[in-house]
Chains A and B, each alone.
Chain A
Amino acid sequence: MAAEPRLRAVPSSGDPASPDALLIAVARGDREAFAALFDHVAPKVVGVARRVVRDPARSEEVGQEVMAEVWRNAPRFDPDRGSAMTWIMTIAHRRAVDCVRSVQASRNRDDRIGTRDGVVRPFDEVAEAVEVDDEHRRVRESLSILTELQREVIELAYFGGHTYREVAELLDTPLGTVKTRMRDGLIRLRDAMGVNR
Chain B
Amino acid sequence: MSTNDLHQLSGAYALNALDELERARYEHHLASCEPCRTEVDSFLATTARLGELDQVAPSSGMRDAVLDEVDRTRQVSPVERRVARNLPRLASVAAGVLVAAVVGLSVLSANLAQRVDELQQLAAPVNEVLRAEDQVLASVDVETGRLRVLAAPSTGQGLVVADGLPGVGDNSVYQLWLIDEDGVPTSAGLLELDGTGDADQVMQGDMERVVALGVTVEPAGGSDQPTTDPVAVVEL
Contact between A183 and B114, CB atoms less than 8 A apart: no
Contacts of B10 in A (CB 8 A): 183, 186
Contact between A47 and B114, CB atoms less than 8 A apart: no
- A67 CA to B73 CA, complexed, in Å: 12
Within the complex, the shortest CB–CB distance from B119 to chain A, in Å, comes to 8
Contacts of B54 in A (CB 8 A): 44, 47-48, 50-51, 123, 126, 129
Chain B CB within 8 A of A182 CB: yes
Given contacts A72-B76, A164-B18, A179-B11, contact A64 B41 (CB under 8 A): no
Q: Which of B45-53, B88-96, B132-140 contacts A (4 or more CB under 8 A)?
A: B45-53
Within the complex, the shortest CB–CB distance from B82 to chain A, in Å, comes to 11
- A64 CA to B73 CA, complexed, in Å: 13
Contacts of B19 in A (CB 8 A): 163, 165
Contact between A76 and B79, CB atoms less than 8 A apart: yes
Contacts of B11 in A (CB 8 A): 179, 181-187
Contact between A44 and B66, CB atoms less than 8 A apart: no
* A residues contacting the other copy or chain, number (CB 8 A): 87
Contacts of A161 in B (CB 8 A): 16
Chain A CB within 8 A of B77 CB: yes
Contact of A48 among B51, B70, B79, B120 (CB under 8 A): B51
Given contacts A42-B62, A44-B51, A93-B16, contact A128 B56 (CB under 8 A): yes
User: Which single residue of chain A is at the shortest CB-CB distance from B63?
Assistant: A38
Contacts of A46 in B (CB 8 A): 55-58, 62
Contact between B47 and A186, CB atoms less than 8 A apart: yes
- A136 CA to B52 CA, complexed, in Å: 8
Contact between A101 and B121, CB atoms less than 8 A apart: yes
Contacts of B49 in A (CB 8 A): 139, 193, 195
Contact between B78 and A157, CB atoms less than 8 A apart: no
Contact between B44 and A76, CB atoms less than 8 A apart: no
- A157 CA to B14 CA, complexed, in Å: 10
User: Which single residue of chain B is at the shortest CB-CB distance from A166?
Assistant: B17
Given contacts A89-B51, A157-B15, A179-B12, contact A197 B69 (CB under 8 A): no
Contact digits for B103-144, partner A, Cβ 8 Å, 1 yes 0 no: 000000000011001101100000000000000000000000
- A29 CA to B57 CA, complexed, in Å: 25
- A90 CA to B48 CA, complexed, in Å: 6
- A141 CA to B69 CA, complexed, in Å: 39
Within the complex, the shortest CB–CB distance from A139 to chain B, in Å, comes to 5
Contact of A182 among B17, B63, B76, B78 (CB under 8 A): B17
Contact between B57 and A43, CB atoms less than 8 A apart: yes
Contact digits for A23-64, partner B, Cβ 8 Å, 1 yes 0 no: 000010101001100110011111110110000000110011
Which residues in chain B, 2-49, are within 8 Å of chain A measured between CB atoms? 8-12, 14-19, 38, 41-49
Contacts from A to B (Cβ < 8 Å): 27, 29, 31, 34-35, 38-39, 42-48, 50-51, 59-60, 63-64, 67-69, 71-76, 78, 80-83, 85-86, 88-95, 97-99, 101-102, 123, 126, 128-131, 135-136, 139-140, 143, 154, 157-159, 161-165, 167, 176, 178-187, 189-190, 193, 195-197
Give 13 A-B contacts (CB < 8 Å), ordered by A residue: A38-B63, A60-B59, A71-B73, A74-B75, A94-B118, A126-B54, A130-B57, A158-B15, A179-B11, A186-B15, A187-B11, A197-B41, A197-B42
Name 9 extra pairs, CB < 8 A, besides A86-B44, A195-B49: A46-B57, A71-B66, A73-B75, A93-B47, A93-B48, A99-B121, A158-B50, A179-B9, A179-B11
